[in-house]
Structure 1
Amino acid sequence: MITLEDLRLFGADIDKGLAVCMGNEELYLRLVNTVPSEERFEELSDAIEAENLDAAFEAAHALKGVLGNLSLTPLVEKVSEITELLRSRKDADYKKLVDELLRARDDLSELCK
């Protein structure tokens, strides 16, 4: 089971994350534990693979909200970059960026075991 110290070492801003959960550590940790199985990661990956930038933007934007509320900084930074690139339709290696995001998600998943 993940701890606040694990999250701190991961790079999360646990003070902000806890504030969103009104200081309820149990709720915060329970919500963090749901992140690795969040379906929008796969929706984003699939949309990028299909070159559907509209669907990719929707998935990335939704992830940004979830991850931002929990202040999971390493994930927020990556998904924010993807979201803004998609918003402006800039040329980018989206697959590489999504792979980096998924690796960070997998790192969090390991901590949640």
Structure 2
Amino acid sequence: MDAGFKAELIEWGVDWDEILDRFMGNEDLIAKFMFKFLNDQSMSDLTKYLAEKNVSEAFKAVHTLKGVSANLGLKGFLTPVCELTEILRAGSMYGYEEKYDKIKPKYDELIAILTKYNV
């Protein structure tokens, strides 16, 4: 794994110790799964369904994002993802904007990092 890539992921908020343990110390495998995140549609689905005020589909999307984020150690936005999951799980949209507004810029930063190193 490229040292710059690793450093940027850690700076962004990846829990490196956790993910290194999860992937049994294999940094190439970590990189492989990080790059697969570029194809994950849960954030675009979340954005779409929130705009449509479709709580049940938005919940499915954010719940998927939560699971993927937890598995990849993406702590840089996991807290607001979890909080939004609980808002939507309750069938509400009250306060979702604040959580989404914390998630989206961090998501975009992560995508930029992944795109930069995905050669």
Q: Sort the Cα spacing of 1:94 and 1:101 in 2 relative to 1 into closer, same or farther, 3 A.
A: same
Matched residue count: 113
Give the conservation status (yes or no) of the 8 Å contact 1:75–1:101.
Answer: yes
Give the conservation status (yes or no) of the 8 Å contact 1:32–1:70.
Answer: yes
Give the conservation status (yes or no) of the 8 Å contact 1:64–1:76.
Answer: yes
* Secondary structure of 1:71's aligned partner: coil
Unmatched 5+ stretches in structure 1: none
Give the conservation status (yes or no) of the 8 Å contact 1:60–1:79.
Answer: yes
Q: TM-score, normalised by structure 1?
A: 0.87
Q: Sort the Cα spacing of 1:90 and 1:53 in 2 relative to 1 into closer, same or farther, 3 A.
A: closer
Give the conservation status (yes or no) of the 8 Å contact 2:55–2:92.
Answer: no
Cα RMSD for the two superposed structures: 1.8
Q: Paired residue for 1:11, among 13, 22, 32? A: 13
Q: TM-score, normalised by structure 2?
A: 0.83
Matched, 1:53 2:77: no
Percent identity between matched residues is 30
- 4+ residue segments displaced more than 6 Å: none
